[in-house]
Amino acid sequence: MDSTLAQTWIGIDVSKDKLDCCLLRASGKPIYDIFTNDQDGHSKLLQWARKQSTNRVVHFCMEATGTYHLSFATYLAFAGELVSVVNPTKIKYSTDEGSKNQDDRACALKIASFARLHHPDAWECPSDEKRLLHELSRFHVTLIKELAKCDTRLKTPELVPQVRQLLEESRQLLTKQIADIEKQINDHIDKNGDLKDDIDLVESIPGIGKPTAQRIIAEMPIFVPKQNGSSFAAYAGLAPRVRQSGSSIRRTTHLSKCGNSRLRAALYWPAITAIKCNEVIKTFAKRLAEKGKSKMSIIGAVMRKLLILAYGVLKTRQPFDCQFKNNKTFAAIS
């Protein structure tokens, strides 16, 4: 459904137990209400929205809040409603409406205002297979971070023996859990041919290994062929942002970081590797260095390039080719 056709916008501030709603029309004051974040509350909210907007196209909008938004977003999608799920950082910097207050009601107003001004794309419910990969991948990253914290603590020389023993036991448990979840992820991918094909395509790009390819596929939104590589990069917050105003403010261009931080984190080390082993990336990085770009600017640009290349191989369904300027991959990302 085309979001530009909407005549009523409903911003929803999602929390674990409740949904704070703000309804905006083309004219008139905002209307507020609160519903429980459960099946009964979802049904009542939809009834309320339809009653308040008879014969109007309604655009529901909410922030991506961990997993709390998923059940209601899925409910709306299956009900045939127009719903968008937007990165919170985009909404934060999009408008000043409601910024003076930080309560749930003000947040709902800000989300509704964002939907009215920017017409975000409709959200599509991911498949059960994609959702499982997404959750397993995020839990895997969480366990790895906990293991790193444990290792750091164990390096502290003044640890008392009792605490050191507890940390060593925790480390053993975390190591086992990481191995178990890696097996679950691999088994899940092997059982789902579409996921496996996507991961194999992304892994064909030199510099991107299997774990990174898995995280890219797990974190990327539903693939829409009409999109372009730049939109994928923007989703990860890897789009360049110019900070310039008149003649007095001319700051260095930097990455927006207004997107999926987990995806950016997954691409950092692969970018460094790709600069060394991927001929296309190596040439690209050398050209940036000759222009005087800093090391971190080059790494950020390479991260963006890798994601755009991933988009290219997914769109064309062809493995990466270092001579990609002569095949469909280059046409897909240009």
Q: Quick: pLDDT tens for 181-212.
A: 999 999 999 999 999 999 999 999 999 999 99
Task: Categorize the per-residue pLDDT at 228 as very low, low, confident or very high, splitting at 50, 70 and 90.
Answer: low
- Residue 11's SS3 state is strand
Q: Using pLDDT thresholds of 50, 70 and 90, give the confidence band for residue 290.
A: very high
pLDDT > 90 in the chain, percent: 59
E strands, the chain, in order? 8-14, 18-25, 31-36, 58-63, 82-86, 240-245, 249-255
Pick from 302, 334, 330: nearest CA to 316: 330
- Given a cut of 60, whether residue 302 has pLDDT beyond it is yes
Name the β-bridge partners of 8: 25, 58
Q: How confident is the model at residue 248 (pLDDT cuts 50, 70, 90)?
A: very low
Higher pLDDT among residues 227 and 176, named by residue? 176
Q: What is the pLDDT of residue 282?
A: 94
**Is residue 313 predicted with pLDDT exceeding 50?**
yes
- Judged by DSSP in three states, 16 sits in coil
Q: Model confidence over 114-168: pLDDT tens digits?
A: 999 999 888 888 888 988 998 999 999 999 999 999 999 999 988 999 999 999 9
Composition of the chain by helix, strand, coil, percent to 5 = 55, 15, 30
Q: What is the pLDDT of residue 300?
A: 92
Inter-residue contact 248 to 234 (CB < 8 Å): no
- Give the CA distances from residue 60 to residues 105, 217, 258, 317, 329, in Å, rounded to whole numbers and listed in that order: 15, 26, 21, 34, 36
Decide: 120 and 4 in contact? Cβ < 8 Å: no
The residue behind tokens 């959750």 is: 135
58-63/82-86 β-pairing: parallel
Query: What mean pLDDT is predicted for residues 5-20?
Result: 92
User: CA-to-CA distance for 110 and 228, rounded, in angstroms?
Assistant: 28
Q: Is the pLDDT of residue 234 over 90?
A: no
Per-residue pLDDT at 51 exceeds 70? yes
Weakest mean pLDDT among 5-14, 59-68, 173-182, 286-295: 59-68
The per-residue pLDDT for range 127-140, each reduced to its tens digit, is 889 889 989 999 99
pLDDT reported for residue 245: 44
pTM score > 0.85 for this model? no
Percentage of the chain exceeding pLDDT 70:
83
Average pLDDT, the chain: 85
Q: Does pLDDT of 101 surpass 60? A: no
Q: What is the pLDDT of residue 254?
A: 54
Higher-confidence position of 1 and 68: 68
Q: What pLDDT shows up at residue 226?
A: 53
Q: Based on the number of CB atoms within 10 Å of its own CB, is 278 exposed (0-12), middle (13-18) or buried (19 or more)? A: buried
Task: Give the pLDDT score at 196.
Answer: 95
Residue, of 34 and 253, whose pLDDT is higher: 34
